[in-house]
Amino acid sequence: MLPEAPGREESQWGPVPHLLPVARATSGISHVVVDVDRTGADLEPTDALGAAAGSETVQGSDDEVHAAHVRGTSQRRVESRVEDTTARNAAQVAAEARPRGAAAAARAWCWCAATTRSSPSLLDAVGPDTASKVVRVPGSRAAGGSEQRRREDVARALAERAAAHRADVLDRFEQGEQRQDLAVEGLDAVVESLRRGQVEEVLLHDDPSSTLRLWVGSTPGAVATRRSDLVEAGEESPQEVAAGAALVWGAISTGAGLTLVGGRPHGTPEQDLADDSAGHRDRQQVTLTDGVGALLRYSDASTSHDGLRSMPGRGEPSAGPV
């Protein structure tokens, strides 16, 4: 089930699933919404298509979660008990939240909280990797809160996170191309990097009219530019498919991410690109050889590079975008 109707109807049959229309229709990112307070949290994992993957409530202790107005030495004892209870509850929430986020391959965590008092303990408890994906959203677990307002705030936060991720991917790709290390472009180089498990993110021009083709085998991730390469690798009956379908399948099969981009016409000034609502440069418009590039996890002496430094207008697709 797609979040909205596709721009055009498509039907294809082939040896690998044609997932490019799904990627095209998916504007969101997988995430977990966490409605949190000092006593616990409500967890709602959501996949990249916007479908909820179940929900769960983690309820901790509600003893001593508010500091009473007392005087003298009792004040510090009460505050200490409140801090201990909050920390224990945060640890319990984190223990339940981490596996749910891992199962959903969450790329963002939306912290919905009326106050920030419970956040430090929870951020410490979830660990630095999850904490780096947290975006704070106003909200409350209390009854009577506006669900519509919360969903709008979550959607806005996720859109900003997605724009930031896209800008980061493209910035890192440009830097990798300039240094000739952690970025490659063109069908041959990207396919070879996918085969070797080097690819962190595939950058793909979104052009449904592309006529470029690749070969695929029966093994997930078996993608090649030549049939003979797959035969030599032990594939008995390689088949030729649309390059876009093969690249998306190859990315998913090897655990790589996917960023769809549009082509920026040759000579378009960078300063003419508009800033988005989050202040990120609209960097979706890029030009890639053969309409495809890849951001790499690592590079070595055998990694294929073009040997040229990136410059405005270089990398025009040699046979049309993928």
Which CATH architecture group holds 165-296?
Answer: 2-Layer Sandwich (3.30)
Residue whose pair of structure tokens reads 């669900």 in the numeric block: 147
The sign of the CA dihedral 150, 151, 154, 155 is negative
For the segment(s) 31-145, the CATH number from 3.50.50.60, 3.20.20.150, 2.60.120.260, 3.30.420.60 is 3.30.420.60
Rounded Cα–Cα distance for residues 13 and 220 (Å): 17
Q: What is the pLDDT along the chain (322 residues), one digit of tens a residue?
A: 555 565 666 666 778 887 777 777 665 678 888 887 777 778 888 876 667 777 778 877 665 544 455 555 566 665 666 677 777 777 887 887 777 777 666 778 787 765 555 566 677 777 788 888 888 887 665 555 667 887 888 888 888 888 888 899 999 999 999 998 999 999 999 999 999 999 999 999 888 788 999 999 998 889 999 999 999 999 999 999 999 999 999 998 888 888 888 754 333 334 333 344 444 444 456 789 999 999 999 988 878 776 544 434 444 443 444 4
Token digits of residue 256: 């790589």
Q: Hey, do 31-145 and 165-296 end up sharing a CATH topology, with the first three levels equal?
A: no
User: Using CB atoms within 10 A of its CB, is residue 57 exposed (0-12), middle (13-18) or buried (19+)?
Assistant: exposed
Residue whose pair of structure tokens reads 């904490």 in the numeric block: 131
Beta-sheet strands, E only, within the chain:
31-37, 40-46, 56-59, 108-113, 134-138, 183-185, 199-205, 213-216, 223-224, 239-242, 257-263, 285-286, 292-296
Domain spans in the chain, listed from the N-terminal domain onward: 31-145, 165-296
- DSSP category for residue 262: E
